[in-house]
A and B are shown apart, each in its own frame.
Chain A
Amino acid sequence: MRQIFIFVTLIILQACQTLVEDVDLEPVDPKLVVTGYVCPQMDSTVIQINFSYPKKGPLPDFNLLQTAKVEIKQDTAILLLQKSQEYTYYNTVTYYISNILFPIEEGKEYNLMVSLTNGDTVRAKCMVPVKPAANFEFADVKHVSGSLNDSPYTSFRLKFLDAPNQENFYLLSGETYDYYYYLEDTVILINKYYFDIPSQMFTDHTGGYDFDGKTMYSNLIKKDDTPEDSKNYILFCSIDENYYRYHSTFNNSESGVFIEPSLVYTNIENGLGYFGAVSYRSREIRF
């Protein structure tokens, strides 16, 4: 019986081997991947560029990224961004400009153009949203003791009024400072790290409900493993649709033969990535 089973298995495996074939496909060129956003509250605007790797096609020439021309335009003002030497992942090249030289303002449209020396050019634009109203509140602070699998944490809610008659996109994040000071090159630095919680992005049409102009709540959880005397800040951001849709893609990034694939959103014409905008308020929360 065992011999029969082995024999049948070998036949099936042989048959399966012949059921796999190579498929000829037209090659495609690498695409320019551009990522970055403008934010009035930040010191600089950073744009990063890279190439995609075609499954079938020529490998990208990463040298082209080093000599790219990256410019931002607002009305008639055009500024070229400088290349940064900072370390990045996977051949990504960073370009930046100080916001002192090129102030970012709420409600204004910004245009981005990236040109390579081989003639490839991509463009994108975004509108800076107005930051959330200042009258948001924290509520329902609750400390939860740890359990078998979970560390203790503090849950709380952020309550705010949605700006009416427009689709709004929000991002909630947090950062914590503790009082660990150290000297580096005669400068005092404050250690800063983020909450150990997932950041949240949502819209005023979350879960199929229309919250337009209504009071919204968002639940947050902060794990209680930060020093007691640390300072905790909530960053409450208005983000534009480009930032929201690009990053939302990765929240649904599971893939597999039986899962509908997620197309990565892009507003980069002829390329990949995003050019978005963020405007935020920061407020300390005491537990």
Chain B
Amino acid sequence: MKIPFWFVLFLVLTAPVLAQKHTLSGYVREEGSKELLIGVNIFVPELNTGSITNEYGFYSITLPAGTYNFAISYVGYQKKTEEIILDKDVVRNFILTPGKEIEEVIVAGDRSQNSRDVQMSTITIPVREIKNIPVFLGEKDVLKVLQLMPGVQKGSEGQTGIYVRGGGPDQNLMILDDAPVYNAQHLFGFFSVFNGDALRSVELMKGGFPARYGGRLSSVIDMNMKDGNRNRYTGEFGIGAVGARGLIEGPIIKDKSSFIVSARRTYIDILLMPIILSESNGDGMAGYYFYDFNAKANYDIDDKNKLFLSGYFGRDKFYARSAGEGFKAGIGWGNATGTLRWNHQYSPKAFANSSFIVSRFRFEITGEESEVELIKFRYYSGIMDYGLKHDFHYFHSTQHTIRAGIQSTYHIFTPKARSFKTSLDEEIDQEILDFLNRKEEYKSFESGIYIEDLYKPDARWQLQPGIRFSAYHMENDAYYSIEPRFSASFMLTENLSVKSSYARMKQYIHLLSNTGIGLPTDLWVPATKLVKPQESQQIAGGFAKDLFNGVYNISLEGYYKWIENAIQYKPGANFFIELDEDGSGNEVDWQNLVTSGTAKSYGMEVFAQKTQGKFTGWIGYTLSWTKLHFNEINFGNEFWARYDRRNDVSLVGIYEINSDIKLSAVWVYGTGNAVTLTTGTFYPNPDNHFLNSNNFWNEFSNDYNAINDFRMEAYHRLDLGIQFVKEKARGTRTIEINVYNAYNRKNPYFYDWEERKGKNVLIKYSLFPIIPSISYNFKFK
């Protein structure tokens, strides 16, 4: 293995400082499954210092020679203390035992993470909490749990789209095992693509982004899949109101290699099939389904080298066909990601990961008619990424932990492509055939190089400066950016810290969306000469306090974020214009359908959490303002963003009555969305002397006061859940009953005018009434 020159130089320069010091390093795994654990605290009470396992479960701590009691602790696991004589470099892999959740306190951490962590605006979602929270139709969903965090707005009823600190849904970097996921939504956003069963960790960052992340403005949602049980074969399955899921994991080579496979599919189409066939006399069929498939395998080449191969495949599909009429049609969309990772340990203090990443999202409409002549039509749009990244993690000392890396992604954007085949080819003009077989494609390179240092000058200060250089090339156009990042925390007392951060972010890809509700017709498009990259800057500051030995955490944060070159469709423009021609024989260019502007968002967030004990849960409160300014929208006047939400509250509570019964409740409240409402109509009487062929002569126009100047009613909802858990001979059975919208609140989905008895009446349409659901899960021992 060739060690980089700069790394050797660094070691040489720092060697004198490190004299008489030794390094303890290794991995921390879960007992039984041998899953690597991320974020485990390795604390040295004698020196009041410590280290944390990285996203690959690796830790390293360099201390003066001596004998120390290392305390290894992790929320949800039993604390472990081990005396180690550090008279040389020592490699020690720790195994932590999961704690019984019923116990009053599972972990008594010597130092709670919240107040001591330099990283602010970051929330680690406990994956097992995801399973305890009541959700819509019983489908456990990571993104819906994220929506319950302060600073994360929910969008519309039932949707999984998230809006972080005033940012759009395209400004969230969702990464699954290093691979970006471009469309995280199933069924128009009612479910997310992330199957909680297969996830090991979920981390949400809303600000103060470390330099290792780039490419999006508003948030990073970093998810890691489980590696698979290395000890024995096991699995679980579940059947819910709309779908079923299953998971199998086990060793390939015991203690050396393992795999995990999980799948999920809805079965509404299968249940309705007999009815539809019966109604159509066996001739027609129509339906909808989605599925997810996650797979991962890992292999320890030796003590210093590990390989991981993981993938996700998911797809939504609407279909309709009629055998008698020779007709078939379908709408489908889906993601596919693949990651090959190689972990390499250069030395006890130097760890590296290299990844090759592939990610694809595609939306597709297909049609086939064969009754008279064969005609096939296909339209699709999407994005394809090939990426390489190398991250280097150097645990220099207890004062410095340095990360550096480089990454590059080759994007292939296909905003629209279509193909047309027919047996009548000879009879159709070539020009028309050419038009029907067009493909618009953009290729670009996005690269980034970064370095960051977690610097702890003393027990009270933690600083994390970082810088990222990003570059973007598309054809002859190029953009370059320097993105400084900085986070700092200062311990005011033993468990109270004050934090601040600054981050500049650049985003070279855009999502064109009319709806904001996660339709697959939303288009990913590149930054071009005309449509510049988006840019944001965010400053944040706040306090974090731990109470009762870390059982309770409270944080208060304020932020101000401003965004430049945000894009939106111009008024009246939409995806379907993209499909059409503009009437002059020229196909409409998406670049002419969008307009650039600015956005600013500011606010305050409170997060109070109880992480341990019989009762766990949290309270999240956000007070925020988000305003947009586009010269071509709202006559150039500033306007509220659709999801500007003055007040947003989430209350989450989970209570274990005993080991067999678990109760949970979620209550959410949010100020109504800002929408544009028609206040009247008028005959616009356009000039018909010079303008002679438009088609609006006799049409009435709507009169709007201003964009988004009407507030929908406030949104609030209570969800309840109860889980009955029973230990069986072969595993654990859980029956779960959920009630969505328990007090049947009629939350507004959209408003529209209706004429009744000659009068106009504004009607509020709601989507979901009270919806009970039941699901059955079984987890094998």
Q: Are A23 and B751 in contact (CB under 8 A)?
A: yes
Of B583, B679, B762, the residue contacting A22 (CB under 8 A) is B762
Asked if A63 is at the interface of the complex by the 8 Å CB criterion, the answer is no
Binding site for B on A (CB under 8 A): 1-2, 5, 15, 18-23, 25, 28, 30-31, 33, 35, 37, 42, 48, 50-57, 88-90, 92, 147-149, 155, 171, 173-175, 194-201, 207-208, 219, 221, 235, 237, 243, 246-247, 249-265, 272-273, 278, 280
Of B635, B682, B698, B707, the residue contacting A261 (CB under 8 A) is B707
Residues of A within 8 A of B584 (CB): 198, 200, 219, 221
Asked if B67 is at the interface of the complex by the 8 Å CB criterion, the answer is no
Asked if B20 is at the interface of the complex by the 8 Å CB criterion, the answer is no
- A sample of 5 inter-chain contacts (CB < 8 A) reads A5-B272, A37-B687, A194-B693, A249-B701, A256-B574
A51 and B682 in contact, given A196-B693, A257-B750 (Cβ under 8 angstroms) = yes
Digit string of B691-714 for contact with A (CB within 8 Å is 1, else 0)? 111101011011110110000010
By beta carbon, the residue of chain A nearest B675 is A261
Q: Are B703 and A264 in contact (CB under 8 A)?
A: yes
* A237 and B301 alpha carbons, distance in the complex (Å): 75
By beta carbon, the residue of chain B nearest A22 is B761
Name the segment of B35-43, B68-76, B428-436 touching the other chain.
B428-436
Q: Are A54 and B764 in contact (CB under 8 A)?
A: no
Q: Are A35 and B684 in contact (CB under 8 A)?
A: yes
Q: Which 6 A-B pairs have the closest CB atoms?
A: A252-B572, A52-B682, A262-B571, A19-B766, A194-B692, A208-B530
Residues of A within 8 A of B693 (CB): 194-199
With A19-B766, A250-B684, A257-B752 given, name 14 new contacts (CB 8 A): A1-B275, A20-B764, A22-B762, A33-B685, A35-B687, A89-B683, A195-B693, A207-B530, A235-B690, A252-B571, A259-B572, A260-B571, A261-B702, A273-B684
Residues of B within 8 A of A257 (CB): 750, 752
Q: Are A148 and B682 in contact (CB under 8 A)?
A: no
Residues of B within 8 A of A261 (CB): 571-572, 676, 678, 702, 704, 707
By beta carbon, the residue of chain A nearest B428 is A148
A251 and B694 in contact, given A53-B680, A263-B707 (Cβ under 8 angstroms) = yes
Q: Are B766 and A31 in contact (CB under 8 A)?
A: no
Asked if B48 is at the interface of the complex by the 8 Å CB criterion, the answer is no
A-contacting residues, B752-780, CB 8 Å: 752-753, 760-767, 769
* A238 and B765 alpha carbons, distance in the complex (Å): 47
By beta carbon, the residue of chain A nearest B710 is A25
* A260 and B594 alpha carbons, distance in the complex (Å): 12
Of B428, B583, B687, B699, the residue contacting A247 (CB under 8 A) is B687
Q: Are A23 and B764 in contact (CB under 8 A)?
A: yes
Residues of B within 8 A of A219 (CB): 584-586
A260 and B514 in contact, given A22-B761, A23-B762, A55-B760 (Cβ under 8 angstroms) = yes
Residues of A within 8 A of B713 (CB): 23
Min CB distance A30 to B, Å, is: 7
By beta carbon, the residue of chain B nearest A147 is B429
Residues of A within 8 A of B568 (CB): 260
Q: Are A253 and B696 in contact (CB under 8 A)?
A: yes
A250 and B701 in contact, given A19-B746, A258-B574 (Cβ under 8 angstroms) = yes
* A149 and B431 alpha carbons, distance in the complex (Å): 11
Q: Are A263 and B635 in contact (CB under 8 A)?
A: yes
Residues of B within 8 A of A259 (CB): 514, 569, 572-574
Min CB distance B565 to A, Å, is: 13
A-contacting residues, B563-591, CB 8 Å: 568-574, 576-577, 583-586, 589, 591
By beta carbon, the residue of chain A nearest B594 is A208
Residues of A within 8 A of B570 (CB): 252, 260
Asked if B592 is at the interface of the complex by the 8 Å CB criterion, the answer is yes
* A186 and B272 alpha carbons, distance in the complex (Å): 76
Q: Are B572 and A260 in contact (CB under 8 A)?
A: yes
Q: Are A23 and B572 in contact (CB under 8 A)?
A: no
* A190 and B514 alpha carbons, distance in the complex (Å): 49
Q: Are A92 and B685 in contact (CB under 8 A)?
A: yes
Residues of A within 8 A of B691 (CB): 171, 173, 199, 201, 247
Of B635, B682, B690, the residue contacting A31 (CB under 8 A) is B682
Q: Among B274, B515, B585, B701, which residue has the most Cβ atoms of chain A within 10 A? A: B701
By beta carbon, the residue of chain B nearest A46 is B689
Residues of B within 8 A of A30 (CB): 680
* A55 and B761 alpha carbons, distance in the complex (Å): 8
Asked if B347 is at the interface of the complex by the 8 Å CB criterion, the answer is no
A147 and B762 in contact, given A195-B692, A219-B584 (Cβ under 8 angstroms) = no
Min CB distance A31 to B, Å, is: 7
Asked if B634 is at the interface of the complex by the 8 Å CB criterion, the answer is yes
Q: Are B765 and A20 in contact (CB under 8 A)?
A: yes
Residues of B within 8 A of A147 (CB): 429, 431-432
A148 and B429 in contact, given A22-B761, A207-B591, A260-B571 (Cβ under 8 angstroms) = yes
By beta carbon, the residue of chain A nearest B575 is A258
Q: Are A21 and B764 in contact (CB under 8 A)?
A: yes
Q: Are A56 and B683 in contact (CB under 8 A)?
A: no
Q: Are B684 and A264 in contact (CB under 8 A)?
A: yes
Residues of A within 8 A of B658 (CB): none
Residues of A within 8 A of B244 (CB): none
Q: Are A171 and B763 in contact (CB under 8 A)?
A: no
* A252 and B595 alpha carbons, distance in the complex (Å): 13
* A50 and B687 alpha carbons, distance in the complex (Å): 15
Min CB distance A150 to B, Å, is: 9
Residues of A within 8 A of B707 (CB): 260-261, 263
A21 and B690 in contact, given A33-B683, A263-B707 (Cβ under 8 angstroms) = no
Min CB distance A230 to B, Å, is: 15
Min CB distance A54 to B, Å, is: 4
Q: Are A263 and B634 in contact (CB under 8 A)?
A: yes
Q: Are B685 and A89 in contact (CB under 8 A)?
A: yes
Residues of B within 8 A of A235 (CB): 690
Q: Among A53, A55, A200, A247, which residue has the most Cβ atoms of chain B within 10 A? A: A55
* A1 and B272 alpha carbons, distance in the complex (Å): 9
Q: Are A55 and B572 in contact (CB under 8 A)?
A: no
Min CB distance A257 to B, Å, is: 6
